[in-house]
């Protein structure tokens, strides 16, 4: 029994000595990391300030895979879960999990590029095909059609299927009463009109 006790004591001494040396090494490493002139540093969350550094405005939630040409099809998403896409290290806490989602490509301009040749007196018309939810935001989106093309746009409150949306650059002498979803210059609207 005495031999077993001495072996256990030796093992415990060796284990504790390794633990403390590793701990001292980690403390020294942390001191080096705290100096802003040394690196490489662990990336900070967007907007977070620490040690003279500010976190870059980078998306750590998801990557949306956009095709070369615009499409109304659902787009694949790679969830990052708050991790850096290059290193895989956790940057933002509290992000991760959830159900699988597909993205929709919201058209950024009210006047499509192929319709930019319209003069200032022309009116661009499109019809609402459907109004659905957007899994990536709280705002609803509308599928609209013009000519032989379709696109996704943000839907305003009160927009319904079958509505004809009108977009124009004309500023009349008398302010006009507009319906939800139409696009006019601010100078064409009366005082008190809600805009988005």
Tens digit of pLDDT for each residue in 61-110?
999 999 999 999 999 999 999 998 888 889 999 999 889 999 999 998 88
Asked which of 55, 86, 104 is the last residue of a domain, the reply is: 104
- 119 and 179 belong to one structural domain: yes
Q: What's the token pair of residue 157?
A: 């409150």
Q: How many domains does the chain have?
A: 3
Rounded to whole angstroms, the Cα distance separating 152 from 158 reads 17
Asked which of 55, 77, 104 is the last residue of a domain, the reply is: 104
Rounded to whole angstroms, the Cα distance separating 98 from 121 reads 48
Asked which of 104, 138, 156 is the last residue of a domain, the reply is: 104
Rounded to whole angstroms, the Cα distance separating 74 from 83 reads 24
- 118 and 166 belong to one structural domain: yes
Structural domain including 138 reads 113-188
- 122 and 183 belong to one structural domain: yes
Beta strand ranges found along the chain (DSSP E): 49-50, 53-54, 62-64, 77-79, 123-132, 141-146, 149-154, 164-168
Among 168, 180, 177, 120, residue whose Cα is nearest residue 189: 177
Residue 11's Cβ-count burial label (10 Å; 0-12, 13-18, 19+) is: exposed
- Walking along the chain (196 residues) 10 residues at a time, the average pLDDT comes out as 50 47 47 53 85 86 94 94 88 91 91 65 87 92 92 92 89 85 86 81
Residue 194 covered by a domain: no
pTM given for the model: 0.70
Residue 76 covered by a domain: yes
Residue 51 covered by a domain: yes
Q: Is 66 in contact with 75 (CB distance < 8 Å)?
A: yes
- 119 and 165 belong to one structural domain: yes
């Amino acid at each position: 029994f005495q031999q077993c006790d001495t072996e256990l004591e030796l093992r415990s001494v060796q284990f504790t000595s390794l633990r403390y040396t590793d701990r001292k090494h980690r403390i020294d490493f942390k001191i080096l990391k705290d100096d802003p002139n040394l690196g490489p540093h662990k990336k900070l969350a967007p907007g977070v300030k620490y040690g003279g550094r500010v976190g870059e405005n980078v998306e750590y939630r998801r990557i949306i895979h956009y095709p070369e040409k615009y499409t109304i099809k659902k787009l694949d998403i790679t969830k990052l879960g708050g991790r850096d896409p290059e290193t895989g290290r956790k940057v933002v806490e509290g992000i991760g999990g959830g159900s699988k989602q597909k993205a929709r490509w919201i058209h950024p301009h009210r006047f499509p590029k192929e319709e930019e040749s319209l003069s200032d007196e022309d009116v661009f018309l499109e019809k609402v095909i459907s109004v659905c939810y957007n899994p990536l935001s709280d705002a609803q989106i509308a599928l609209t059609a013009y000519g032989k093309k379709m696109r996704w746009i943000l839907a305003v409150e009160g927009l319904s299927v079958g509505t004809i949306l009108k977009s124009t650059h004309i500023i009349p002498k008398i302010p006009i009463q507009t319906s939800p979803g139409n696009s006019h210059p601010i100078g064409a609207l009366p005082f008190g009109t809600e805009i988005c």
